[in-house]
Amino acid sequence: MALAHARAELSYLAMTDARSPTLDSEAAAAVRAAFSCGPPPPLVDVLNEHCPECRATSLRVAGRRWDAIGIADLEGNTEIPLFTAVAFRYYVPIFMLVCIEEPTRADCMPLGVVERLAPKNRKPSAELAELRAKMTTAQRAAVHAFLRAMRERDPGSKPVSRALEYWAGV
Ligand SMILES: [Zn+2]
């Protein structure tokens, strides 16, 4: 009787909240374990001087360690595509953590991060191939765990499917 009640409650929870706290916390733990935080890259590689918006976006993080960055630095439509390749590679752990742990305040950030991890037309850009090649096995597995958490939130997302396919088989 008690078990049946617990089951009914679980299926009710599954209906009202598609997110799994387990998948989220596993992905966050995998990111934290896989990416240690070295010193930030030189400003010249992080600052994007293309236009005022690119500059403002890069200044949200420039010169700071990724583990000193939080949602307060990134909320308000941070345009992930505007980061340089070097900046994205260094800050991707905190981008993933914010997407997992602050989904409401992160707003559209998850799509920006996923898009940058997904090959267009099944062919990775040179930048994406380099990002993947420079990661350790544990880091690739953490990216895959992040993508699984994102798929759970948005199961029909094509960018998430493309990215998952690319990051599978770490
Ligand atoms: Zn620009």
pLDDT digits (tens, 9 = 90+) for 107-128: 999 999 999 999 998 799 999 9
**56 CA distance to ligand 1 middle (Å):** 9
Among 7-16, 38-47, 107-116, 133-142, the least confident range: 7-16
- Residue 145 parent element (H or E): helix 137-153
**12 CA distance to ligand 1 middle (Å):** 46
Task: Tell me which residue has tokens 């998952």.
Answer: 164
Boundaries of domain holding 131: 20-167
* Cβ atoms of residues 72 and 106 within 8 Å: no
Predicted local distance difference test score (pLDDT) of residue 116: 97
> Does residue 130 belong to any structural domain of this protein?
yes
**54 CA distance to ligand 1 middle (Å):** 4
> What residues have their beta carbon closer than 5 A to ion ligand 1?
50-51, 54
> Does residue 30 belong to any structural domain of this protein?
yes
> Does residue 13 belong to any structural domain of this protein?
no
Domain count, the chain: 1
Average pLDDT value for residue range 70-79: 94
Report CA-CA distances (Å) from 164 to 54, 86, 87, 146: 28, 22, 22, 9
Q: Tell me how long the chain is.
A: 170
